[in-house]
Structure 1
């Protein structure tokens, strides 16, 4: 080896860099996109649960009816949801909420396909608040009537009727519980939309 010669060592480039490929590390935007997509999927599943709860509440209250025969078939005591305007309002409100949630499913799917789209998420956020308000009002009003049906109110001569109309009270109580399940799910949906709309 001559003194003027000097050897060099070639260091092979990594396969990813040599082929011009990006390293297998998720960028912050990709990570955020994956998180928002996961939120969209969770949003869709929550809406399915809320639909079941809302429609179950409306159907249970709408079919609550019990008749107690006394003496003859011409002299009977009957309890039905449409005897009280509060229960009628409950059925209408829960049916509207269930219908809205069904119509909101396509928008929820859009948030999965396009996780960075702001318009559908903002629309769902606003309409979910409206649905939450309506559902809470209906559930609270019906809960007050159910409480009176179970316990009565001596000051106003409101008699407790659940000892006689047990099946009726059981149905309306179940409907109220289902409405509050819907309220909780709607609250989760609103919180989820709020986090999804939050800028980094």
Structure 2
């Protein structure tokens, strides 16, 4: 009879973690966070600096539209600002994952906070989208007129600010997906 030697790990179903692919995931994570940060920052700035005064107003009566006339837009700016702040604070953790791609606990923490930020950003963007739709289309049943005819610049700007926010939502979905893929490799 021959004695066979079995090395540790041979024949077992446990695989070692794929650290090279986790490093690639970590680099992609960093890039997605940077893109989401730029998108949410641009959305908050675009919405927060939006105002328009109609040119046919008199010195006594002026027709002016500002983002803070509607609490929904204020919530949108605050939500994008909070998410932008979170993303800037999470960038060092993302860089840490590139250096040490085997770390597991901080990835779980990031998935938790990424999910919370995704929820906040989705709530802000969805609420603002409803108001932007009403600004463009109005609602005849409720006697709300569309204000985008006279306030064209204002409406273009608030509509454009939604793009960065929805881009951030897509980035967060990808971030959560990538983090869970990286976690499943451990």
Q: Determine if the TM-score, normalized by the shorter chain, exceeds 0.5.
A: yes
Taking a change above 3 Å as real, the CA distance of residues 147 and 199 of structure 1, as seen in their structure-2 partners, is: same
Q: Is the 8 A contact 1:51 1:98 kept in 2?
A: yes
What is aligned with 2:124?
A: 138
Please tell me whether residue 155 in structure 1 is matched to residue 158 in structure 2.
Answer: no
What is aligned with 2:169?
A: 183
Residue-by-residue CA offset, 1:23-56 (whole Å, 9 max, x unaligned): xxxxx747x1100001000000100000000000
Output aligned runs, 1:1-200, within 5 Å: 29=16, 32-70=18-56, 72-199=58-185
- The structural deviation recorded for 1:69 is 3.7
What residue ranges of structure 2 are gaps of 5+ in the alignment? 1-14
How much is the aligned-residue C-alpha RMSD, in angstroms?
1.2
Q: Judging by fraction of residues, say which structure has more strand.
A: 1
Select the structure of larger CA radius of gyration: 1
Q: How many residues align?
A: 172
- The structural deviation recorded for 1:71 is 5.0
Tell me the TM-score normalised to structure 2 length.
Answer: 0.89
What residue ranges of structure 1 are gaps of 5+ in the alignment? 1-27
Find the residue that maps to 1:143 and give its secondary structure.
helix
- The structural deviation recorded for 1:150 is 0.3
Q: Is the 8 A contact 2:57 2:63 kept in 1?
A: no
Tell me the TM-score normalised to structure 1 length.
Answer: 0.83
Mean Cα displacement is larger for which, 168-177 or 70-79?
A: 70-79
Higher relative contact order (Cα pairs below 8 Å, separated by 6+ residues): 2
CA distance in 1, matches of 2:58, 2:151: 18
CA distance in 1, matches of 2:80, 2:57: 38
